[in-house]
């Protein structure tokens, strides 16, 4: 065998080893490529899911906003259809605001009035009015007195039934003061005949508190009378109406 042949035969194995290394390198590159593709696919899936979740959240918020607006419109329509309960007093102007007094109180002339059902002495009656947010009534005009006379006439069930008002001379006999501390205007009084008389037969302390009531068929607004503060009568409470608290208007 010649040298050239031997060399040729000896080189064959080296060539085979070189091809094997190249194939291994190609296989590694394919594996790396597959891994990269898998990671990219996973990233795409994650991004899609996040985008879908964001879209769903945005859609849900939009749905909630639309539902809120629908409920708001419905409530507004319901409020617009509510008919205000207006005072029956003929002296109240038709466009005056309505329902500015708490439930159970009656509105008249910028004030609210409450007529008690049960009887108590003057001090107890005043405390009850204060717990209700007002005080015993202070009468500031002839018009207010006439209003109260008419209402008392409706409330009275018998001739002995009377109502306490917020007037007393308990601090000094003959000097009458309202519960807010203001003195009685002597030009604006509604004493009944021979009143006040400070009668002491019933109570030695005399009569230091004022009640109002009337006899059947009696239309004179002068129906005040002093009475022992320990006597038990019903009472008239008063407080100012709550301006702006209600937005409804009589129509």
Distances (CA, A) of 10 to 5, 17, 180, 189, 199: 8, 13, 131, 144, 152
Q: Residue 229: is it exposed, middle or buried by C-beta count within 10 angstroms (0-12/13-18/19+)?
A: buried
Q: For 123-176, write each residue's pLDDT tens digit.
A: 999 999 999 999 999 999 999 999 999 999 898 888 789 999 999 999 999 999
Residue 64: what pLDDT?
78
Return mean pLDDT, the chain.
80
CB-CB contact of 188 with 177 (8 Å): no
* pLDDT score of 22: 58
Q: Which helix (H) or strand (E) holds 4?
A: helix 3-81
Instruction: State the pLDDT at residue 67.
Output: 80
What is the secondary structure of 93-126 as a DSSP string?
Answer: -TTSB---S-TT-EEETTEEEEE-SS-B-HHHHH
Q: Which two tokens stand for residue 208?
A: 């230091």
How far apart are alpha carbons 115 and 117 in whole angstroms?
A: 7
What is the mean pLDDT of the segment spanning 178-194? 95
Cα dihedral 89/91/97/98 (nearest 10): 0
- pLDDT of 91: 46
Residue-wise pLDDT tens digits, 78-95: 655 544 444 444 444 444
Distance CA 27, CA 194 (A): 127
3-state secondary structure (DSSP) of residue 207? coil
Q: Is 177 within 8 Å of 171 (Cβ atoms)?
A: yes
For the purposes of burial, counting CB atoms within 10 Å of the CB of 37, is it exposed (0-12), middle (13-18) or buried (19 or more)? exposed
């Amino acid at each position: 065998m010649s040298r050239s042949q031997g060399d040729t035969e000896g080189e064959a194995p080296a060539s085979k080893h070189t091809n094997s290394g190249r194939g291994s390198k190609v296989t590694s590159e394919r594996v790396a490529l597959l891994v990269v593709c898998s990671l990219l696919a996973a990233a795409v899936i994650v991004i899609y899911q996040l985008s879908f979740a964001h879209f769903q959240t945005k859609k849900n918020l939009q749905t909630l906003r639309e539902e809120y607006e629908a409920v708001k419109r419905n409530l507004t329509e319901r409020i617009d259809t509510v008919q205000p309960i207006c005072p029956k007093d003929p002296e109240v102007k038709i466009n005056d605001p309505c329902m500015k007094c708490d439930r159970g109180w009656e509105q008249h002339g910028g004030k609210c009035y409450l007529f008690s059902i049960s009887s108590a002495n003057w001090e107890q009656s005043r405390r009850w009015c204060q717990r209700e947010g007002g005080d015993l009534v202070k009468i500031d005009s002839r018009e207010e007195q006439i209003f109260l006379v008419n209402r008392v006439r409706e409330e009275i069930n018998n001739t002995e039934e009377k109502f306490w008002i917020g007037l007393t001379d308990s601090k000094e006999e003959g000097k009458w003061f309202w519960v807010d501390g203001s003195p009685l205007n002597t030009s604006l009084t509604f004493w009944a005949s021979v009143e006040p008389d400070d009668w002491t037969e019933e109570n030695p302390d005399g009569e230091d508190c004022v009640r109002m009531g009337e006899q059947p068929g009696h239309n004179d607004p002068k129906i005040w009378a002093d009475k022992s503060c320990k006597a038990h009568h019903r009472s008239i409470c008063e407080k100012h109406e709550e301006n702006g608290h209600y937005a409804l208007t009589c129509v």
